[in-house]
Structure 1
Amino acid sequence: MMKNTLLAILSFSISMTTNAFAAPKNMPIDFIGEWCTPSKDGDITTYTLPSWTEDHKCNEILSIDQWEFVFNMGGDVETYCNPESIRTKQDVAPSGVAYFATISANCREGLNPNRKSHRTYEFKRYKGNLMIRSK
């Protein structure tokens, strides 16, 4: 009896510990990579894959990995964003697949932990182009 009670308490403690920490959100695989040479049209910024740029030269790189994305706006200005929630969808057409993601992220300017903000981004990828709208 004592053994069963001890096992139940131990099991409950383990489940409470694992549920107390939310796992970090993973960026969708379709957006991971280095994107560069942004162009702005209204509130939408379009990035391209390095192979899609003129002379294959990049500037102002957007780096997306599994855990975060980093905007480098030239010089020492960088914005680091960690996703908190991600909604994805895709649209399939004969010419290719468009990938969409709405990402709520906790962002910070540079390495300064005091300059944090919560932002929502809409990502759309079609072939070698990535369009981002910040809400």
Structure 2
Amino acid sequence: MRKLILAAAMCSAVGSYVHAAAQKKMPIDFIGEWCAPEKDGDTTTYTLPSWTEDHKCTDILSIDQWQFVFNMGGEEEIYCDPVSVRTKADTAPSGTAYFATISANCYAGTAPDRKTRRTVEFERYKGRLMLKSK
């Protein structure tokens, strides 16, 4: 009986560790390719390719379920892996706006061993995505 209780406790502890160590996912409302960024202070606005002039996509922000990758004004690509994600949505008759505050470990493409923590606020309304770094 004692062995059974010990085994159950160990399985529970291992399960909790594996769950806590699971990688955070990006919210589905932001996944996709975004392009043609416009900067205004510390806010960068991206659009869907279909919303750009001549449907040409430059300076792509790529978001998949595990990370987001962007180019900061001609510098090398920056990769960001989410660590914590907080989301909310605001629905009105004209559509839904999606918000997320994401804390991520980010690194330059050539230096994956030198990560820095960044917090980025995401706001999407229809074909526009605004990013604001904190």
TM-score, normalised via structure 1 length: 0.90
Secondary structure of the 1:119 match is: strand
Deviation sequence 1:97-129 (CA, Å, 0-9, x none) = 110001111111114133311000000000000
With over 3 angstroms needed to count, the CA separation of the structure-2 counterparts of 1:31 and 1:76, relative to structure 1, is same
Task: Measure, in 2, the Cα distance between the counterparts of 1:119 and 1:36.
Answer: 21
AA matched with 2:80: C
Between the two proteins, what is the percent identity of the paired residues? Answer: 66
Paired with 2:53 and 2:108, the residues of 1 have a C-alpha distance of 29
Whole-angstrom CA distance in 1 between matches of 2:103 and 2:74? 26
Shift of 1:58: 0.7
Q: CA deviation at 1:15?
A: 1.6
Instruction: Identify the residue that residue 95 of structure 2 maps to in structure 1.
Output: 96
- Structure 1 alignment gaps of length 5 or more: none
RMSD: 1.5
Partner of 1:13: 10
Give the aligned residue type for 2:81: N
For 1:127 and 1:17, the matched residues in 2 are separated by 42
Give, in angstroms, the shift of residue 9 of structure 1: 1.6
> Match for residue 23 of structure 1?
22
User: What corresponds to 1:39 in structure 2?
Assistant: 38
The aligned length equals: 132
Instruction: State the distance in 1 between where 2:15 and 2:61 align.
Output: 33
TM-score by length of 2: 0.91
Cα deviation 1:55-85 (Å, max 9, x = unaligned): 1111111111111111134767111111111
Secondary structure of 2:111's aligned partner: coil
- Displacement of 1:19: 1.8
Q: Which runs of 5+ in 2 are unaligned?
A: none
